[in-house]
Amino acid sequence: MPVFYTGICAGASQIPLMAKLILKEFTSCPLSRKRSGMGIIMKYRTDRNGNRISQLGYGCMRFSRKGSSIDYEKAEREVLLAIEKGVNYFDTAYVYPGSEECLGRILDQNHCRDKVYIATKLPQYIIRSAAAVDKTFREELTRLRTDHIDYYLMHMFTDHAEWERLKSFGIEEWIRQRKEEGSIRSIGFSYHGDTEMFLKILNAYDWDFCQIQYNYLDEHTQAGKRGLQAAAQKGIPVIIMEPLRGGKLVNLPDKAKEALALDSHGYTPAELGLRWLWNQPEVTCVLSGMNSTEMVEENIRIASEAGPGCLTAEDMEIVEQIKKIIREREKVGCTGCRYCMPCPKGVDIPGNFYYYNLMYMEKKSSARFEFAQNMGMRKEPGFASQCVQCGKCEQHCPQHIPIREKLKEADRELRPLPYKAGINAARKFILK
């Protein structure tokens, strides 16, 4: 997608053309920019309608809190700094406590609504009627103090059946009406699940954009690189969430930090993770949940320097080394090749092994939650307990994994009794 630059200071249009060209050339060098203290130049990528979106987006889920409420003054300073530096895409959601209200108040009181794009989401998993769709949307407009949403998403799809359920409420006609009146400008969906289901949802409607969890550790899980490229081939912009896996790719194991220290560019763990994403032209915008002015400044600096081709072969090799180190704690040597699939009983074999391994690469509780959220909420969940021990999968596994034995282990670890009861209760409520 095309990349554009903002002016670096007020009154840039008054600078003679030759001076502009020299200035642009000078500021394109990160070292020169750091030495001079000059302004940072944000880069933009375009959506399918030609709108310029800053390649760094602001994720508003993690605004700092003061007691039980969002620290408004602190959030205001950080948001206004981001806008001043060229960030124009702000992502929130109905279910982020206080986030929509806070963002709406900041933009309204500082008269900058028309300088940014707002993305927010319909909590489709709790919607039970057409009336509920409209009521929720109108409430979001009120919270955000606006008459339109620039990018509206169906929140957290995990299964194509969720879209079919919304269609039964007349969601397609509702979207058409909202677009016609101008209260929604672009429609999309956010996704947590596997690649095959993502592709099914991607092809189920004429989406304007989509949002996926994607980072170098999730390159071949979730929607994955295959999903990213499929969307790009259809001309659908892709917004990236969890670019650093909730901080997991910042707080690397010591051995991984040592490997990164050998890189000649001196990147921090966060910078390497962000550059890995912006190195890919299919990525439209990367969301970062920034909650300090220092983080805003640093991420904007990285965004101003990164783009397709910004990583060298050396950098890519470092990424692979870090991935290998992180995965040393894996319990199953599954590569996600999917030669074992499809299972005749519907078991998602790579999915179960992915979350089982994740328990030992990250916190067990967070891996179990992600498993429950992503696999547990599908209409056809693919639990390991569905295995009937036929052994067909093991005949096709290039890694010669004792799949049947490992599936039993995975199920015991991923769904101990309290989690099993919780998943069953949530399924009854959400999938009814």
User: What value does the mean pLDDT take over residues 158-177?
Assistant: 96
Mean predicted lDDT score pLDDT of the chain: 89
- Residue 420 vs residue 181, higher pLDDT: 181
Amino acid letter, 126? I
Q: What is the largest CA-CA distance in the chain?
A: 75
Structural contact between residues 151 and 185, judged by C-beta atoms closer than 8 angstroms: yes
Domain made up of 42-320: CATH architecture: Alpha-Beta Barrel (3.20)
Q: What's residue 38's pLDDT?
A: 53
pLDDT tens sequence across 42-98: 999 999 999 999 999 999 999 999 999 999 999 999 999 999 999 999 999 999 999
Q: What's residue 60's pLDDT?
A: 98
DSSP for 289-314, please give it: ---SHHHHHHHHHHHHH--TT-S-HH
CB-CB neighbours of 248 under 10 Å: 19
Q: What's residue 39's pLDDT?
A: 59
Q: What's residue 271's pLDDT?
A: 98
Six-digit token string for 25: 């050339």
Burial code (b: 16+ CB inside 10 Å, e: under 16) for 139-169 equals ebbebbbbeebbbbbbbbbbbbebbebbeeb
Which position has the token pair 């949940």?
289
Q: Which residues contact 111 (CB under 8 A, 6 or more apart)?
A: none
pLDDT tens sequence across 369-387: 989 988 888 888 899 999 9
How would residue 26 be classed by pLDDT, with cut points 50, 70 and 90?
Answer: very low
Secondary structure (3-state) at 208 = coil
Domain spans of the chain, in order of start:
1-41, 42-320, 330-430
Q: What's residue 335's pLDDT?
A: 75
